[in-house]
Amino acid sequence: MNGSQQLRRKQFYENLNEGDALIMFAGSAPRKTADATYPFFANRNFYYLTGVLQAKSIFLAVNRGGEIEETLFINEKNPLAERWNGYLISHEEASECSGIEKVMNLERFDEVLGDILKSRSVSNLWYDFDKFDEGRKDAAQNQHSESILSAHPWVTLKNAYPEICAARTIKDAGEIARIREALALTRDGIHAMMKAAKPGMYEYQLEGVFNKVLADAGVREPAFANIVSGGRNNFYIHYEEPMGILKDGDLILTDVGARKNQYVSDISRPFPVNGKFTPEQKKVYSIALKVNKELMGLLVPGKVSFEEIEAHASRRIREELVAAGYLGEDEEVSKYYWHRGTHHIGLDVHDVGPPGQPIAPGMVFTIDVGIYMEEENIGFRIEDNVVITETGYEHLSSDIVREIDDIEAMMS
């Protein structure tokens, strides 16, 4: 995909004036125990611009006289280090996957940047100041920019994060294709769970069914911690310790997704443990599905924002619950409707994107309607993924069954 990364960098360079430089860090794996680290996961904005997934890599772009000079710094190949910790990409491989011609050993970064700053040919340094890393001394961009200001107090710092995130909001055809691949795996995993579910199973056994579908396709881990719960455990929104027993008559809630080639899906499907919805479960499920479909009907590019979708969801869920006798006229919908239902997906499960703007072609996001009625022991959400087109939307997860009859048929 180096052509895509090159286009993305070119788009960002419109922000770089003469005397500006961009510094991006891939990051490194955080420590887990005395002698082990967590698996490495590349900074999403670094990957978005470079396509490189190797730890500790650094990208430097400098505007010199209107020309952009790009340099990628990576760890030098080391047979002994690889023997212990795995394969390191070569300079040639890094250049091929990123489209960056100049690749240097990581140890040269301080020297190269130091020479640039000493010459004062650069006065503005752009970093990826992720809002979630604000105040974190261990974040690479914070640590490095602080040391630069200490040695070169005349340098001005700028934040590349908003510009990169705005670009990430609109997916190109290649990104949408990868999300489709993730959704195909997610579909197969959810359908496999529906077919496997039965009373007496442990939640983690059903989760294992989903994980095996992913593993059989060469995917070692899901997009996020699987949520597979039953009965009263459905009332924990982020339930990540699936140790309960699935009981006859209860609903199962699955909120799962696959990550394929760095891109994710995020789908929720509820279904009955024994394969048959009770009349009460059908009644509440039908309300949620009705509103889910109505929300999709609102998706006209340039005409609606996430806030308007959320407002419509709250109003319609309340109206339906009042009409069905579950809510009193003076009761708030928040009694049963606990969370928002729209968020971008892409390189992250809750992907980046400026809030408040109207939906636009290329946006990929969730439509999620959840109803949680603890006194009825009925709690679930129906979550789908859509992409906005030039004229409307495409329901990307339409082949993951969600009609009551289709779910029961799948489970039989």
Q: What is the DSSP string of 331-395?
A: S-GGGT--S----B-SSSSS----TTPBP-TT-EEEEEEEEEEGGGTEEEEEEEEEEE-SSSEEE
Kindly tell me if the per-residue pLDDT of 315 is higher than 70. yes
Kindly tell me if the per-residue pLDDT of 1 is higher than 60. no
* Mean pLDDT, rounded, for 363-386: 98
Judged by DSSP in three states, 270 sits in strand
Kindly tell me if the per-residue pLDDT of 180 is higher than 90. yes
Kindly tell me if the per-residue pLDDT of 137 is higher than 90. no
Kindly give the interhelix angle for 2-12 and 91-98, rounded to the nearest 10 degrees: 70
For the chain, what's the residue count? 412
* Mean pLDDT, rounded, for 36-52: 94
Structure confidence by residue, pLDDT tens digits, 378-389: 999 999 999 999
d(CA 273, CA 196): 10
Tell me what percent of the residues of the chain surpass a pLDDT of 90: 89
Is 393 in contact with 177 (CB distance < 8 Å)? no
* Mean pLDDT, rounded, for 193-205: 98
